[in-house]
């Protein structure tokens, strides 16, 4: 399973910050890893401690919740 490279995320964030760290993370996943599928993103996020906390904070409990979040933002 792919792991989030948080050092690369920090570098990405310097130039692409969107205010909200989770929205920045979503942009990073699309840009750096070329992942656009909510199911794939969710599978990666749920395995990462920090990303998992970001999901919990937003009450995102499954890929469908993540997809709904993506379409709202």
Q: What is the pLDDT of residue 17?
A: 77
Give the start-end residues of each E strand in the chain.
none
Q: What is the pLDDT of residue 19?
A: 80
Q: What is the pLDDT of residue 72?
A: 86
**In whole angstroms, what is the distance from residue 63 CA to residue 59 CA?**
12
Number of other residues whose CB lies within 10 A of the CB of residue 9: 19
**In whole angstroms, what is the distance from residue 28 CA to residue 36 CA?**
10
Let me know: does 51 contact 45? Beta carbons within 8 Å.
Answer: yes
Residues (pLDDT < 70) of the chain are none
DSSP 42: H
């Amino acid at each position: 399973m792919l792991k989030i490279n948080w050092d690369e995320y920090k570098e990405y964030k310097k130039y692409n910050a969107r205010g909200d760290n989770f929205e920045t993370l979503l942009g990073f996943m699309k840009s750096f890893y070329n992942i656009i599928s909510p199911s794939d993103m969710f599978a990666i996020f749920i395995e990462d401690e920090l990303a998992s906390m970001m999901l919990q904070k937003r009450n995102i409990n499954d890929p469908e919740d993540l997809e709904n979040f993506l379409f709202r933002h």
